[in-house]
């Protein structure tokens, strides 16, 4: 590199950094130093316009400095199947980026406390969407783990596999819930849809019977909506009365913002701000619900 080229590169770096310190390799910053520098970069990031070199430098540096949070969170899933560590870190980085884009210093919380739920949530979503062969409700996915632990614990004392009644008593659940969990666990792995439903001959050859594909229906396209509504319900309960009323009028009664403003005696602009703030709160809750 010539002296002129080096000077040009240095000038470009200085321009991108603005009044922020230039960090050549942000990924090598120690976690303790990263926490202190992150406050400075977040404070400056809020004042920069998106798309500018300064904004891009601040945002990218924040991502690189806090990758240790992703590696820390990913380590908790090291022994879990369904993906190697590189995939898990990449997915966790998406959660880190979302946390950076949504963090506000006015929250008066440490960025680490704010970011880890986003990172873990993305990783859990990755396992939920890629590990299971059949998509089942989240509560049943979690119940499968509890059932596996309960079966192992009870089998040691009983010297046999526990019954549904014994599993229900051990977990404090209804027998129907346990049955649903056992059935849902069959969705963790799947056989070929081309496998005949009837048994083959002793040599293992198919006998020409109907395949599973012949007798199975199509997935219910509304399943995802139902799951999202179940996850959204407790978040709606946490809203105050005015926020719930605005949400109900906007999406339940399908009123316009102007009509809502007339109903509440406030301006349309005020309604727009309240609605935007409430929706951001709900979206953040949905992202960390996992």
In a domain, 6, yes or no: no
Confidence at residue 140, expressed as pLDDT on a 0 to 100 scale: 67
Instruction: Choose between 118 and 10: higher pLDDT.
Output: 118
CATH of the domain at 36: 1.20.120.1810
Q: What residues make up the domain containing 207?
A: 138-215
Judgement on whether residues 120 and 27 belong to the same structural domain of the protein: yes
Judgement on whether residues 246 and 202 belong to the same structural domain of the protein: no
Q: Which tens digit of pLDDT belongs to each residue from 245-284?
A: 888 888 888 889 999 889 889 899 998 998 898 888 888 8
Final residue of a structural domain among 101, 131, 161: 131
Answer yes or no: is pLDDT of 170 > 70: yes
- Indicate the pTM of the whole model: 0.43
Provide the percentage of residues in the chain whose pLDDT is more than 70. Answer: 75
Contact call for residues 96 and 60 (beta carbons, < 8 A):
no
Confidence at residue 269, expressed as pLDDT on a 0 to 100 scale: 92
CATH of the domain at 208: 1.10.10.10
Final residue of a structural domain among 131, 159, 185: 131
């Amino acid at each position: 590199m010539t002296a002129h080229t080096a000077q040009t590169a240095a000038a470009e770096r200085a321009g991108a950094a603005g009044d922020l310190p230039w960090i050549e390799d942000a990924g090598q910053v120690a976690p303790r130093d990263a926490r202190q520098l992150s406050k400075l970069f977040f404070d400056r990031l809020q004042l920069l316009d998106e798309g500018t070199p300064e904004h891009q430098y601040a945002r990218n540096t924040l991502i690189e400095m806090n990758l240790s949070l992703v590696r820390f969170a990913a380590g908790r899933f090291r022994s879990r199947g369904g993906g190697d560590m590189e995939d898990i870190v990449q997915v966790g980085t998406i959660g880190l980026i979302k946390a950076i884009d949504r963090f506000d210093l006015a929250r008066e919380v440490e960025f680490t406390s704010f970011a880890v739920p986003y990172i873990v949530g993305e990783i859990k979503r990755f396992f939920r969407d890629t590990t299971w062969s059949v998509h089942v409700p989240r509560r049943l996915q979690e119940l499968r783990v509890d059932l596996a632990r309960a079966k192992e614990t009870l089998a040691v004392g009983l010297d046999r596999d526990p019954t549904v009644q014994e599993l229900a008593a051990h977990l404090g659940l209804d027998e129907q819930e346990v049955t649903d969990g056992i059935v849902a666990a069959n969705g963790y792995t799947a056989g070929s849809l081309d496998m005949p439903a009837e048994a083959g001959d002793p040599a293992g050859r198919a006998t020409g019977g109907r395949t599973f594909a012949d007798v199975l229906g199509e997935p219910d396209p509304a399943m995802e909506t139902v799951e999202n509504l179940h996850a959204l319900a407790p978040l709606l309960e946490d809203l105050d009365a005015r926020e719930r009323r605005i949400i109900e009028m906007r999406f339940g009664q399908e009123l316009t913002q102007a009509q809502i403003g007339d109903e509440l005696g406030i301006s349309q602009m005020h309604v727009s701000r309240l609605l935007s703030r409430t929706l951001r709160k709900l979206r953040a809750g949905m992202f960390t619900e996992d």
